[in-house]
Amino acid sequence: MNIFKREFKANFKALIIWCVSYAGLMGLASVEFSAYQGQADLVNEFLEVLPEALKQAFSMNELRLDVPEGYFGYLAGFVLLSSCIYAALLGAQILSKEINKKTAETTFTLPVKRTHTVSMKLAAATVNCAILTGVTFITGLAAFAPFGISGDFIRGVAVFMLFILLLQVFFLAAGLLISVLLKRHKRAGSIVASIAVGTYFLSFIAKINENTEFLKYITPFEYFPAADVINGRELETFGFIIVPVALAVFFVTSYKLVAHKDL
């Protein structure tokens, strides 16, 4: 438990900064949406001047930006990306931070198994992700509450936040695995962040035309599309299969490698 507390305390300041940033983002979104609410003609005029590829990439053809559900669906993509980057960096730091700060010899030679140490650090990182997601949910509802949100909106956003948390754990595990595989641990954070951003842009390419649609099976950002979740549409089963399988592979491989890695 001491390992959990130490890790949570070490990441607490960064968590506060992320939470405040998200609250600020939701506040700005509320101000911007106030200009769009009920202004369908204004929104349509704005969308008409945008390139078709750009509208497809951001799912603007599927969203009504003049209603809370549509605008939040547009905003949710950016929230998802930043949340996954946050989780990936946390996962990468589980080992790399200890090695870079020359504290690995102390941390991983405690009278407990290495896997237990990693598990406690992962648990602390997961709690951090859950807190950030909870703050996002609460501030998001608070930001859009003045515009008469419905019960369906609240349920849709709540479900999407659960998917955000699931994908955060996915990138958390991916970050851990990459840091275990790397020999140059200082690069772990930049590599996992680049992978998160790269797969996010793959989701844009997947939407542009039918020839690139197959890419949606490669990028986790297309497994649970915000527009579909918030509007209560049926989701493809692929994401519900691949994410748990990938998590199992990431964790099992990481734990086996950590047990024998020269730290």
Q: What is the pLDDT of residues 162-198, one digit of tens each?
A: 999 999 999 999 999 988 888 776 787 888 889 998 9
Q: Which residues, other chains included, contact 6 with Cβ-Cβ below 8 Å and sequence gap of 6+? A: none
Model pLDDT for residues 113-142, shown as the tens digit of each residue: 777 888 888 999 999 999 999 999 999 999
State the Cα–Cα distance between residues 178 and 185, nearest whole angstrom.
Answer: 9
Angle formed at CA 229 by CA 130 and CA 58, multiple of 5 degrees: 100
pLDDT of residue 45: 67
What is the pTM for the complete model shown? 0.88
Average pLDDT over residues 49-70: 70
Angle between helices 151-181 and 188-208 (to 10 degrees): 130
Question: Which residue from 199, 195, 215 is spatially nearest to 207, judged by alpha carbons?
Answer: 215
Per the prediction, the chain carries an average pLDDT of 83
Would you say 98 and 107 are in contact if contact means Cβ atoms under 8 Å apart? yes
Token pair in block for residue 6 = 């130490």
Enumerate the domain spans of the chain.
2-260
* CB neighbourhood size of 114 (10 A): 18
Query: What is the per-residue pLDDT for 242?
Result: 92
Q: Which residues contact 15 (CB under 8 A, 6 or more apart)?
A: 128, 131, 132
What is the rounded average pLDDT of the residues 236-244? 90
